[in-house]
Structures are given as structure tokens and as C-alpha cells.
Amino acid sequence: MITLLPGREKSLLRLHPWVFSGAIDKVTGNPKLGETVKILDSKGNFLAWAAYSPHSQIRARIWSFNENEKIDKKFFTNRIERATLAVAPYNANAYRVANAENDFLPGCVIDYYAGYLSVQLLSAGWEIHRQTLVECLKEFFPDCKGIIERSDSDVRIKEGLEPLSQILAGDVPEEPVAIEENGLKILVDLRKGHKTGYYLDQRNSRKRIGELAGGKNVLNCFCYTGGFGLFAAAGGAKSVRQVDVSSPALELAKRNAELNNLTTPIDYIEADVFAYLRKCRDKGETFDLIILDPPKFAESVSQVEKAAKGYKDINLLAIKLLAPGGMLATFSCSGHISPELFQKIVADAALDAKRPLRILESFRQAQDHPVLSSFPEGMYLKGLLAAM
């Protein structure tokens, strides 16, 4: 049982799903890692049931605000059902089934890839309820060929857990699995790919790039397995240049282009993007459309200032490479960088480049990555489409 300090119950009364260590007055008993505990306010009133994490700054993650609810298989069945009903209309063979706190399953991400499920369990509660979750998923996806856990993330270290990757049910092939996205086939490496295998959250943005790319020379930075570049090529781009530091990612990007019989000339550059953009600047190269989709620069609040400098540097370099009338699609997946701060960073970069931009559109994560209204941290992906 956890009792909060006076006044520290306000966030839970607003249905925020986290309890930070600094809000706790006392812990009664000796709850184990992942154990379900009762959260009380300073007067002893019930607030929530939560999974206990003794090593994390987020000391407890809320399962339920209903005192009469039991955290058992029925509970998880109901949560999975609610999440799957929300994504049912998308009629895709690759989508997010459950989006962690935003789908009332704290620390749990579940993605569906053409008959396979890839799961990330990033918080302590799942160390106790992992098998129950697997049983629920088998019932909801009876034709599922295999379930893989891709909890090989440093986020688990903050929870006092080791990064972990394992097969939970059935089998998952060593070779990449082909999914379909807005008319294109994409190979996804479920065993070794980033996160759960692919970035499904950028589905809508990739489609939009395809709509904009016709006749343009396109530079796709941090391309991973080539998604934005593939849609640009399919959309009639004059040329596409895919840049990433990972050789395996670029090899899969090449295979994706071959799989879709794309005829647009595509170059694959293995390089650090910051260094490569400087090289292009020094050579006087320009591009009609540049995509910046870097990895997360800010893992915590303490890293925001450093991350902001990184985002400004890379946007400044890209803006200088834009041809007259060129367009920049720039993104941040750092949840600690707000949309307002990100827009300011891009505006400052344009000012320093002496090339003012017009912001045409905003991007966000796809619809199967919902944001809980009481959990603004769930809105992590933001992007801007800007033009000279």
C-alpha cells in the first residue's frame, strides 16, 4: 500500500496514470517489483490500483481507478478488447493494437504485423502479468502465427529490469515479414528491427510524402528501412537519396525498393546524417524535398536543452540545402519536446539560415496511436511540413 503526501493526489484525481517517487509519503509492507498495490491519499482515501516499481522515478503505474476492479485475466481481457475495437476500422494488415498508457495498459505496446504480434513490456507490472497477457492475445488473435517480445530497450533498466527479447508463443521467422501499407509492401524485421520492428506511427506522414514527391529530388535522412523514400519513389520522385548510419537498415531499404518494382533512381548512403548534410552543404548540393525523421534526442527532461540544439543544428543544415521553392518535412519523436518548442526550434533554424519558411502542415502519429486525454505525454510524435 502506498500513501501519498498531502496535496500530491491531484494528478491522480485528474486521472494521470503515473505516481512519481517524490509524491509518496510511505510504503506499507514490502511490495515486490511489479506487485499490484493500493494507492491512498494522505487521509486514507482510495485513489487507484497500480503496479509497483521500487527502482523507478515513476514508482507506480496505474492499472485502475476503480476500487472494485480486480487486476486479473478478466481485467486484461477487457483492456485488450477495448483497444482492438478502437483499431478495427483501419482494415490494415499492420497496425498498433495497444498503445501503452493511452490504451489503459501502462508500459505495454502491442503491434500486429501480417499474422504476427510484436510486444514491448517496458514496466514492472508485466513481470507478473506477462503470461496472462499472452493468453489474452491468443484468444483475441486465434490465427496468430507467433508472438515475440521485443523488450530490448534501455527503458527497462530504469525500472530495474534487464532488456529482454524472446518468443512468447508460436514462432517468428528469422527473415523479415512483408506487410502492406497504403499500397506498398514493406519488409519488417521482427527479431532485430527497431522498437517492435517498424515505425507504424509514421504511416500517414509517409503517404503524404508520396503525394508531394512527384518530379522532385528527394533526400530522406535517418531513412531506416526506407519508408519515406519508398513512398517518394512510388509517388513519382525524380530521384531519391536514402541516408542512414546502419548498413543492415539500408540493405532492407534496397530490398523494399526491389519488392515494389520501383523505377525511380535511388541512392543508398551509409553515413552519419549530421556529417553527410555538412558534406552536401560544402559541395553546394540542393534538394527539392528533404525529410528529417531522427531518433529520439531527449530521453528525459534533463536532456531537452541538448536535444533542442541537436534539432536546431540538423534543421539548419537541411534548410540550407533546400532548392528555391523546396520543402522540408521535419519530425521529432521526443515526448519531452513539445509541439510549440519544436516549431520554435525550426523557426530559429530558418532565421539563422536567413531563409524564412512557410509552415504548410502539421503531422502527428497515426490514428492507431491514440493519446489519452489525461496523459499529454502520449503525444510524442510531431512534425512540420514547411516550404521556402
Is 333 labeled as catalytic in the residue annotation? yes
Q: Where are the alpha helices (DSSP H) in the chain?
A: 10-13, 73-87, 126-140, 155-158, 203-212, 227-234, 247-259, 273-283, 304-320, 339-353
Taking residue 132's Cβ as centre, other Cβ atoms within 10 Å add up to 16
Active site residue: 108, 136, 221, 333, which one? 333
Asked if 76 contacts 129 with a C-beta cutoff of 8 angstroms, the reply is yes
* 354 burial level (CB within 10 Å; 0-12, 13-18, 19+): exposed
CA distance 265 to 284: 21
Residue with cell 514508482: 59
Which DSSP string do the residues of 276-334 spell out, in sequence order? HHHHHHHHT--EEEEEE-PPPS-SSGGGHHHHHHHHHHHHHHHHHTEEEEEEEEEEE--
**How many CA atoms does the CB half-sphere of 310 hold within 13 Å?**
18
Classify 274 as helix, strand or coil.
Answer: helix
Taking residue 142's Cβ as centre, other Cβ atoms within 10 Å add up to 7
Residue with cell 507490472: 125
Region for residue 328 given its phi and psi (left: phi exceeds 0; alpha: psi -120 to 50; beta: otherwise): beta
Positions marked active-site: 333
